[in-house]
Amino acid sequence: MRIISDFHDYYDVGMQTGIDPQLPYRRCRQEEPLPSRINTKYSPFSVGSVHRGLCIGFAGQLYPCIRMSVNGRVSFCFDVNHIDDSVLIELAMQGWNREIVRREGLQAAVKRERRRIAEFFGHMGYTIGWYLPLFELFKTAIFVHQSGDKSVVLNERLNQYSFQKVLPPMEAFQELATYVGARLTQPVRQDPPLSDEVKAEIHGFDKYSFRKGKTKS
């Protein structure tokens, strides 16, 4: 696969193993209005305005994600089990959560925070299927939608979302190449059709194959 783009993403290293010019993918970032069916049904997720839910579409698959802001540092999580307790403690100690810590104790506040994040992933498990038609609708292999936004970003740069946590570079490149080849791209050059005579010669038959040679009397 050959990626034609004006920016670099983490999985572009896959092109170092070889480029197929007959399998191009034009990765041009653009924003499109989100279909109203998704925009009206998808509930934004937020806890004290520090978390936002995202849906990342990549090569025909959907990946729920949460954008977390901890003391001014932004990080992205794809699984609640991968969040360290130290991060949850920081979340529990900032903003309005301090009152919960004072009233219920730190460990109770941490458990509440983890439960809220788990509820987000559970909610996305029911609603994420609504995003599948976007691949076909926009003829794209990559898109990102952030909760509350009225537009979806096509061909977004994924390294800024730490997407390599989900798919390593070479695996991501292979999945993208497979999807683009199967769903989005036709070969840019096709061989001309072969005549019946040429097909016969390829299989070992020619004008002498069924003739009997002259024999001496």
- Average pLDDT on 33-41 reads 72
Q: Does 69 fall in a domain?
A: yes
47 within domain boundaries? yes
pLDDT at 20: 84
List the helix and strand counts (H, then E) for the chain. 7, 8
Q: State how far the Cα of 56 lies from the Cα of 144, in Å rounded to an integer.
A: 5
What is the DSSP code (8-state) at residue 71? T
212/181 Cα distance (integer angstroms): 49
Residue 48 pLDDT grade (very low, low, confident, very high; cuts 50, 70, 90): very low
Which among 129, 44, 112, 120 has a CA at the least distance from the CA of 80?
120
H helical segments located in 139-195: 169-179
Share of the chain above pLDDT 70, in %: 76
User: Does 44 score more than 50 pLDDT?
Assistant: no
State the chain's mean pLDDT as an integer.
Answer: 80
Between 30 and 184, residue with greater pLDDT: 30
Phi (first) and psi of residue 15, to 5 degrees? -70, -15
Q: What is the average per-residue pLDDT within 41-55?
A: 60
Asked if residue 64 lies in contact with residue 53, where contact means CB atoms within 8 angstroms, the answer is yes
155 within some domain: yes
> Do the domain assignments include residue 175?
no
Tokens linked to 49: 């305005």
Asked if residue 103 is part of any domain, the answer here is: yes
Q: Of the spans 62-76, 87-101, 107-121, 161-175, which averages the highest pLDDT? A: 161-175
Q: What is the DSSP letter of 210?
A: T
What pTM did the predictor assign? 0.76
Which residue bears the tokens 């788990």? 118
**Does pLDDT of 185 surpass 80?**
no
Residue 49 pLDDT class (50, 70, 90 cuts)? very low
pLDDT computed for residue 42 by the predictor? 47
Tell me the residue range of the domain where 36 lies: 31-169
Residue 190, in any domain of the structure: no
pLDDT band for 215, please (50, 70, 90 cuts). low
| DSSP classification of residue 60 | T
Distance CA 217, CA 207 (A): 24
Decide if 81 is inside a domain. Answer: yes
Task: Give tens-digit pLDDT for 4-21.
Answer: 999 999 999 999 888 888
Write the DSSP string, 108-164. Answer: HHHHHHHHHHHHHHHHHHHHGGGGTHHHHHHT-SEEEEETT-SEEEET--SGGGTGG
Contact (Cβ atoms closer than 8 angstroms) between residue 61 and residue 78: no
CA distance 92 to 110: 6
Backbone angles phi, psi at 129, to 5 degrees: -60, -20
Domains: count for the chain: 1
**CA 99 distance to own-chain centroid:** 39
In a domain, 207, yes or no: no
Per residue in 124-169, pLDDT (tens digit) is 777 788 899 999 999 999 999 988 888 999 999 999 999 999 999 9
What does the pLDDT read at residue 141? 97
